[in-house]
């Protein structure tokens, strides 16, 4: 072990003090900004220099649009179901185009979901309020000339509570999948109804076949079903149930009025890189410069995105090795991330293999694998082709704390943070020794 128990106290005290002094730290909130400033003051005691970089973003743009989905779904459902138009003296056949409008609305919702959530674009961000936050960068010079660059990062903000996750655990993922499936079903059915009505006349809820006789049977069968369900499409029952799932996902999965304390996610990660700053200030690498970066706004992935935008040229030219540290204060196994499918990011094999090797040298097991859900600031690095991975803990203990009211200092284990610290220090050493 390169460190002693005094590091455990240093790191746990940081987690506890930030929680007590600032409480939950919503992205771009005064609490987040002040916590970042305090983190910068701590880093000034260890680093050769500390830079504070302000940036602007629309933090609610990352998740705020999700609630639009339910309204688009309900509107598309109403546009699909034109059967009752005759009550108002309107021939439903004259409304054949509405089902296609409904399908287009849901398709638009899926496009926004892809661009905002997976592609990390800022497609609808301008609709939401603009705010400011910070990235804090502490720099440690090596003993000799800097030939390599290592970035150790973590985020200070805390996350919105995932209410369904708190109540249902892994069952919440089933609800999410059901909601997405219901939306996709309605989109496809609306498109099929549009084509069916266009080709076969009203009503025609089934895709026409090349056999006229079969089409007639299907047409009469659908008419009987409509009568049996009081003019309701039989499929509509499924979609109404699906709407309930979408409603749950959209309105209750993410509670934007309640935040977790974020002790494990991710003050434990920040504590680990502060520990690294302390150790490396006294034990300098021979030829590797180290940047200790406390990111803002990981909840919307904008802090690290602004950092990469500003420093991309230097990071690429210097072949910087980046490791972002996440949720390392619990007893789940340490993992070097190979990919973050949710953000369409594949990490550098060179980095995650070095993390695994660092674990072996330190005598601390580090598994290698992709993140099953969610993501880290490393995605913004890897998506730009930079060398990056993430060191985090994945398992039941992590899930019990992630985005829940249980993410408090009482549930953070300083010894586990120290294990992550030891891996980080050995990682820096391995990079420093590379030819």
pLDDT along the chain (435 residues), means of 10: 94 98 96 98 98 95 81 84 68 76 91 89 92 97 96 95 70 74 82 69 55 71 56 58 67 72 96 98 97 94 96 97 97 97 96 98 97 92 98 93 92 97 98 91
Q: Which domain holds residue 379?
A: 5-58+130-159+260-433
What pLDDT score was predicted for residue 393? 97
Tokens of 39: 């983190």
The domain tally of the chain equals 2
For residues 231 and 287, state if they share a domain: no
What pLDDT score was predicted for residue 219? 65
The answer to whether 365 and 333 are in contact (CB under 8 A) is yes
What pLDDT score was predicted for residue 67? 78
Given 195, 230, 255, the domain boundary residue is 255
What pLDDT score was predicted for residue 200? 54
Tokens of 113: 């979901």
Which DSSP string do the residues of 153-211 spell out, in sequence order?
EEE---PEEEHHHHHHTTHHHHHHHHHHHHHHHHHHHHHHHHHHHHHH-SS--S---S-
For residues 276 and 289, state if they share a domain: yes
Q: What is the pTM of this model?
A: 0.87
Residue 346 lies in a domain: yes
For residues 239 and 369, state if they share a domain: no
Could you report the per-residue pLDDT of 34-55, keeping only the tens digit for each? Answer: 999 999 999 999 999 999 999 9
Residue 63 lies in a domain: no
Given 218, 240, 255, the domain boundary residue is 255
d(CA 357, CA 364): 10
Q: Which residues of 159-170 are buried (b: 16+ CB within 10 A; e: fewer)?
A: bbbbbbbbeeee
d(CA 157, CA 298): 7
Given 255, 275, 307, the domain boundary residue is 255
For residues 229 and 276, state if they share a domain: no
Q: What is the CATH number of the domain that holds 327?
A: 3.40.630.10
């Amino acid at each position: 072990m390169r460190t002693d128990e005094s590091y455990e106290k240093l790191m746990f005290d940081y987690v506890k003090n930030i929680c007590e002094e600032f409480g939950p730290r919503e992205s771009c909130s005064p609490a987040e900004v002040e916590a970042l400033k305090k983190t910068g003051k701590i880093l000034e005691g260890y680093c050769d220099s500390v830079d504070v970089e302000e940036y602007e973003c629309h933090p609610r743009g990352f998740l705020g649009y999700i609630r639009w989905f339910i309204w688009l779904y309900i509107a598309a459902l109403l546009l699909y179901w034109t059967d009752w138009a005759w009550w108002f003296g309107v021939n439903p056949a004259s409304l054949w185009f509405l089902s296609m409008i409904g399908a287009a609305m849901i398709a638009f919702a899926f496009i926004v979901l892809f661009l905002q959530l997976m592609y990390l674009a800022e497609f609808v961000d301008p609709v939401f309020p603009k705010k400011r936050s910070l990235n804090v960068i502490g720099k440690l010079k090596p003993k000799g000339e800097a030939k390599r660059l290592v970035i150790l990062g973590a985020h200070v903000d805390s996350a919105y509570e995932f209410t369904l996750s708190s109540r249902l655990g892994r069952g919440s993922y089933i609800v999410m999948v059901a909601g997405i499936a219901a939306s996709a079903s309605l989109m496809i059915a609306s498109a099929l109804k549009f084509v069916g009505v266009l080709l076969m006349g009203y009503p025609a809820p089934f895709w026409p076949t090349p056999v006229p006789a079969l089409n007639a049977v299907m047409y009469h069968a659908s008419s009987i079903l409509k009568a049996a369900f009081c003019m309701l499409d039989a499929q509509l029952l499924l979609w109404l149930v699906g709407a309930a799932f979408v409603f749950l996902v959209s309105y209750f999965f993410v509670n934007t009025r309640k935040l977790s304390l974020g002790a494990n996610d991710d003050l434990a990660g920040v504590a680990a890189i502060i520990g690294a700053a302390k150790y490396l200030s006294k034990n300098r690498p021979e030829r590797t410069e180290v940047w200790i970066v406390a990111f803002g706004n990981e909840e919307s992935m904008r802090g690290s995105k602004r950092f990469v935008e500003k420093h991309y040229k230097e990071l690429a030219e210097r072949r910087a090795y980046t490791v972002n540290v996440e949720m390392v204060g619990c007893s789940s196994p340490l993992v070097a991330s190979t990919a973050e499918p949710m953000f369409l990011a594949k990490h550098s094999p060179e980095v995650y293999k070095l993390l695994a090797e660092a674990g072996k040298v330190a005598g601390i097991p580090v598994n290698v694998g992709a993140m099953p859900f969610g993501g880290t600031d490393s995605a913004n690095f890897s998506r730009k082709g930079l060398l990056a991975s993430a060191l985090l803990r994945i398992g039941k203990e992590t899930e019990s704390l992630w985005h829940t009211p249980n993410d408090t200092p009482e549930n953070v284990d300083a010894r586990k943070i120290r294990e992550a610290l030891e891996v980080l220090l050995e990682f820096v050493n391995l990079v420093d020794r590379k030819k």
